[in-house]
Each structure stands twice: as C-alpha cells, then as structure tokens.
Copies of this chain bind each other. A is one copy, B any other.
C-alpha cells in the first residue's frame, strides 16, 4: 500500500458534535489536526497555534497572494483559511490530516485535492436536529433563525460530501470515521503505484517463463 497520509475534511450541522469527534480522533497518534489561520481576535482561553493562528489582515492577504492557503473564506468581515505547508508536510510523512472546516472551505479543498475525503457529521434524525437548532425553546429568535439559515444552506450541499456520519453514540461515530479513513487508504485509485508494480513484476515473470 502507498505510504502517503489521507486528507480528511470534517464538516457538519451546528450542534452535531464535530469538535468532540475530532478530539477523540486526535487521541490516536496517526492523526494530525490542521490549525486554521484567522484574522479574528482570539476569544478568552484560545491559544495561538493551537486553536488558530491569529494573524493580521495584511498577513492573511499576503498568504492568499503567495498561494500559501489550501482554502479560505470570509465570514462577518474576518478571514479564515487553511495553511497549505503544515498539511502537505504531514501528509508527506504519512500522517492523516484532519481539517474541521465549513462547507464552502470543504468543497474548495475537494477541487484542489480530489483525493481528499469529505465527511459530514449530523445528528441521527431530523427531530434531534430541530431540537439542537431551536435549543428546545431556550434560545432567542435571532440565534435560532441564524442557525436555521445556516443549516438550510448546508443541507443543500450535504450530498456533495463523500460520506455522511451520524453522531448518536460518540464511540460508534468515531469508529465509523476511522473505518472511512481505512477504506479510503484501500481505494484502488489511491493504490495506482502498487497496481503498476504488480503489473510490472508479472510481466517480468512472464518473460522468464517464455
């Protein structure tokens, strides 16, 4: 099998528990979590280089110009993006790299890295999704409306993802994600060198026999 790592892109509905899934995954030493760059200010408790790389607008636009970002997008006047260098170096070393990013970014990554694996995390059914979006009535109307608008947008692109992962029982969900990563490594399209090597060897044997 080929040695290069897999690029795993994780998105999902608000409240689906993406963060917890990612946390569980990164307990395994084979996975590396990509850290995004952003121009927004750090919130209390957030660490530079761990939660985000907090950089200035000028630095961010410089990275765009130098093609140093895998993807980037703008939300509420702030830039968010994935630095390419870290991702590429980890993949080259054979680590699987996890990007936890929004839909637009995810679909952009897929156009640049067609072999990237796109996963969408969702609650197990629409009723639970509704409960999480509406906060069972405890959230104010603006928050509910915002979450709803976002989810309605996301659901239209859900079928552009490669895989749908239900987060009902956390451990089951994490195991499914791990299975998807194993399966992706076994895809024939990710093992062209292996196949060509076997072809070559069979040819050599045939020469020896005839």
How many A residues, CB 8 Å from partner?
53
A141–B202 Cα distance when bound, in Å, is: 16
Whether A188 contacts B206 by the Cβ 8 Å rule is: no
Whether A197 contacts B126 by the Cβ 8 Å rule is: yes
Partner of A183, one of B1, B155, B184, B203: B184
- Identify which of A160, A166, A205 gathers the most chain B CB atoms within 10 Å of its CB: A205
Chain B CB within 8 A of A76 CB: no
Q: Which of A190-206 contact B (CB under 8 A)?
A: 191-192, 194-195, 197-203, 205-206
Whether A176 contacts B165 by the Cβ 8 Å rule is: no
Q: Which of A150-187 contact B (CB under 8 A)?
A: 151-152, 155-156, 158-166, 175-176, 178-180, 182-184, 186-187
Whether B209 contacts A144 by the Cβ 8 Å rule is: yes
Q: Which of A1-29 contact B (CB under 8 A)?
A: 1
Binds B, one of A42-50, A65-73, A96-104, A128-136: A128-136
Q: Quote the shortest CB–CB distance from A92 to chain B (angstroms).
A: 22
Chain B CB within 8 A of A127 CB: yes
Q: Within 8 Å CB of A176, what residues of B? A: 182-183, 186
* CB<8 Å pairs between A and B, sample of 23: A126-B197, A129-B201, A130-B205, A148-B206, A151-B202, A152-B203, A152-B206, A155-B195, A155-B198, A155-B199, A158-B195, A159-B189, A162-B188, A163-B183, A163-B187, A164-B186, A164-B191, A164-B194, A165-B186, A176-B182, A179-B179, A180-B183, A180-B186
